[in-house]
Structure 1
Amino acid sequence: MTGAGAAGASHGIRSISVGGRYEVHIGAGALHRLDEHLADGRRVMVIHQPGRTELVAALCDRVRVAGGEAHTHEVPDAEAAKDVRVLAGAWAALGQGGFTRNDLVVGVGGGAVTDLAGFVAASWLRGVDVVQLPTSLLGVVDAAVGGKTGINTAEGKNLVGAFHEPRAVLCDPAWLQTMARPDLVSGLAEVIKCGFIVDPVILDLVEADPAAACDAGAPVVGELIARAVQVKADVVEHDLTEAGIREILNYGHTFAHAIEQVEDYRWRHGDAVAVGMVFAAELAVRSGVLSPAVLDRHRAVLGSVGLPTSYAGSDWTALREAMARDKKARGAVLRFIVLSDVGSPQRLEGPDEQVLLEAFRAVGTTTS
């Protein structure tokens, strides 16, 4: 895949097209692009995580200047936002505000909040417009782009959801500079994933200066964001509903989602994905499709930025049961995305149970 999603820059903002259907705007002043989606009389519901007072206020001011009606609805941070009770509260806020199909939902926060806001928009009156303002690295490179929305249930992560593309995604890198370092590093897992499945330049950039990759103010972070978004835009352009190639974006996620579930979502998503990629690489090596050198590179590049590469928590039985409920499974058959080389993902269906157990043991005994 080579640059199917067109990218351009204007007034310091880099715009990446997702199949010509909407654009991801990255750069200082990205909030100004919200004006294109405001209108006299249009209601706007800002669904936001706690602690974004200044950004939410600036957003509401723009709505009012455009003659619109601004509403705000605060939801919990992180995975606690993706709960059916929180979803019901957002629906109630829309109903009480008299929102119609001509109105707009805006998601402000990390990946969990943009997942929730997207599903709220998809389900309200069978679909209203949504604009996403991700304020975390994970949000901009993963959750907010691609049109996947969802909430969690007791049985698993993202088992309830819909494909509902945003009208736009806006990200000012300055919004990321308030992130706690562990959260920023966690988001790098999804960036590094894009390097392994499509764009090895991402890996080169991280390996050249791991410290800069962990600094939201460093120029390389903007380049890493743009490259990761471009990877996702190119994939989604060809496959919105995960009927084929989009599955490669799930690299590392089957084992990661199992960790998140058995740990009751106390693990950061990116941390779990980092371990999940090592598990997938272990699985690929043991299945004879990947060289040990690429497995070693997984551990090296992930470890260089402080991401975990091992998991010694729950027992295998609980994890295996959680993976069986993964939405990528087909009946009793587990399906994994694995690599045959950097930039060469493929599907591995129904691996031998002993091979799965060996990969789990290897991840459990590896020093992070």
Structure 2
Amino acid sequence: MRFEYTEAEKKVLHGMVKYPTLNDRELSEAIGVKPSTTTAIRRRLRKAEVFSTKRIPMANKLGYELLGIFCGKIGPAIEASVRKTFLETVESLPQIFYSIVSSDSLFSVGYFKNFSEYRGFADAAWEQFGESDVIDQGMWSWAVFSFERAKMVNFFDYGPPLRYIFDIKEKVHIDKSVEKPSKVRLSRKEKIVLQGLVNFPESSDKEVAERVGASRQAVSAMRKRFEKTGVMKTLRVVDLGKVGYSIIALAHNQFTPPATLESRWNYLLKIAEIIPQFLNVASNPESILMACAKDYEMYHSVRNKAIKLYTEKGYLREEPMLMLFPLSDTKTIKDFDFSGFMEALVQEED
């Protein structure tokens, strides 16, 4: 259901997405809306589930090397019980933290410690589901991006969709939270507090402290340190349907050898200006982009503009693999669920 928004509501919602760690007083100063109005709007929008707060453990700071993505078409003729087992298996995979599914398509993304772990994961999934016709093998993609070499142009920043739908003029922001990997060493206590913060992102420091058996002051200090050092990122995730979108579109682009990431950079920025994207990961040979559209007319218009930018330079190796997820037919089966990842991190020996 779409809502109509006042100018103040647009400012507050966009401000919460842009400045997710600010409290109401700080946010009101940043966006020029009275503190009482800011608080009232935030509470109203949260009650309507227009947005939610998530905390992401940044794997590039925790000894992990890769972001892995798999997406594609689900076989149209599979039995309901086979489909149910397939989706339950995807949901149970500890590496996967975000996954959506429609009647005929699936998209999943996860963290992997190294290529061997990713390859083992991919091979096992292919063996398990390839023979059962769950996977439409002609329309399935696997993509792996090294934190060392890839660029995370947008890593689940919902600011661009809001700026587009609310007609907010602002320069393109490049997400720098997923930079080159580095190992930040955490004590077991720090890992447990990080686990509590990530698993209960809507909870206050006091509530998290009670859950993990630490003091509120310790949790507050660690939270600020995790955010400052890039170990954890706080997000405001927007319900795209409630701000006027009806479609999520995914594009897997593959590029010719001369079309390096460096040579394509200006085009990446141009595409970021015209597409309301919330995920854009790019490397030399390929990229994955997820964006949203108000309707099919908008989708076709934006798609054609993006493809034209790349084809006029001869960058594309082949036609992009495109998938549509109509929001009315799409279910989120993993919603920034890092419980498996965090449990593995806590159990790691220093």
Q: Could you say which TM-score interval applies, normalised by the shorter chain? A: under 0.3
TM-score (norm 1): 0.23
Higher relative contact order (Cα pairs below 8 Å, separated by 6+ residues): 2
Q: Whose strand fraction is larger, Structure 1's or Structure 2's?
A: 2
Structure that is richer in helix per residue: 1
